[in-house]
A and B are shown apart, each in its own frame.
Chain A
Amino acid sequence: AQSVTQLGSHVSVSEGALVLLRCNYSSSVPPYLFWYVQYPNQGLQLLLKYTSAATLVKGINGFEAEFKKSETSFHLTKPSAHMSDAAEYFCAVTSGSARQLTFGSGTQLTVLP
């Protein structure tokens, strides 16, 4: 069985501040992890993925995430928030034998001017 917990359904940061969105996973086998972003009235767009290569993964739009096995975490960060980063962010997990992604409940990011 696998699951994802996203801590904080809403996160607000000031423009230019650090963005930190938290994701913890549970998986009985080595996981594959993903972050997706959803802008209003749009589908989900892949930001980055971890598939057991480098533990620090760089994605699009300046985002990155670090896989920490000891903490079962895959937090998403960006050094400096931009107004255009305001969106909902989803963490997802799957294992090599799983047929589906399991998504977290999402974190709504608000960027304040």
Chain B
Amino acid sequence: ETGVTQTPRHLVMGMTNKKSLKCEQHLGHNAMYWYKQSAKKPLELMFVYSLEERVENNSVPSRFSPECPNSSHLFLHLHTLQPEDSALYLCASSQALGQGVYEQYFGPGTRLTVT
């Protein structure tokens, strides 16, 4: 595997389900990000982890819970979602923050549909 991978690529879940999205980066980076991409709206940054510490949480509802067990893996745990949470969820990685400005590399995304 190369680059940034995300699983699953597609997910349909009911509002009472609990599911998790997984992201793995194979680039030796140590900063990771979750974004939400909805139709007709700009990319929304949800969470940032740098050196496995959460450094940004942009007012995301508590039904989204991130986890970063190591610098290569990032999870987004989902529970009791709403239909408006249906979107493409993108994971990205970069070199650690505070050591210069580095571009972010994105995974292919998970297309989430909440029914």
Contact = CB atoms under 8 A, between A and B. Distances in A.
B109 interface: yes
A49 B48 CA distance: 21
Contact of B97 (A42, A99, A104, A105): A99
B105 A46 contact: yes
Given A43-B4, A44-B106, A45-B106, A96 B101 contact: yes
Contacts of A42: 108-109
Contacts of A103: 42-43
Contacts of A46: 103-105
A106 B40 CA distance: 9
Contact of A43 (B48, B55, B101, B107): B107
A90 B101 contact: no
B45 A34 contact: no
Which of A32, A43, A51, A106 counts the most chain B CB atoms within 10 A? A43
B90 interface: yes
Contacts of A43: 4, 6, 90, 92, 106-109
Interface in B1-56: 4, 6, 33, 41-43, 45, 48, 50, 55-56
Contacts, number: 46
Given A43-B4, A104-B42, A99 B106 contact: no
Contact of A101 (B104, B107, B111): B104
A90 B35 CA distance: 14
Contacts of A106: 42
Which of A34, A42, A104 counts the most chain B CB atoms within 10 A? A42
A28 interface: no
26 contacts: A32-B101, A41-B108, A41-B109, A42-B108, A43-B4, A43-B6, A43-B90, A43-B107, A43-B108, A43-B109, A44-B90, A44-B92, A44-B106, A45-B106, A46-B103, A46-B104, A46-B105, A51-B101, A96-B100, A99-B50, A99-B55, A100-B45, A100-B48, A101-B45, A101-B104, A104-B42
Interface of A: 32, 34, 36, 41-46, 49, 51, 90, 94, 96, 99-101, 103-106
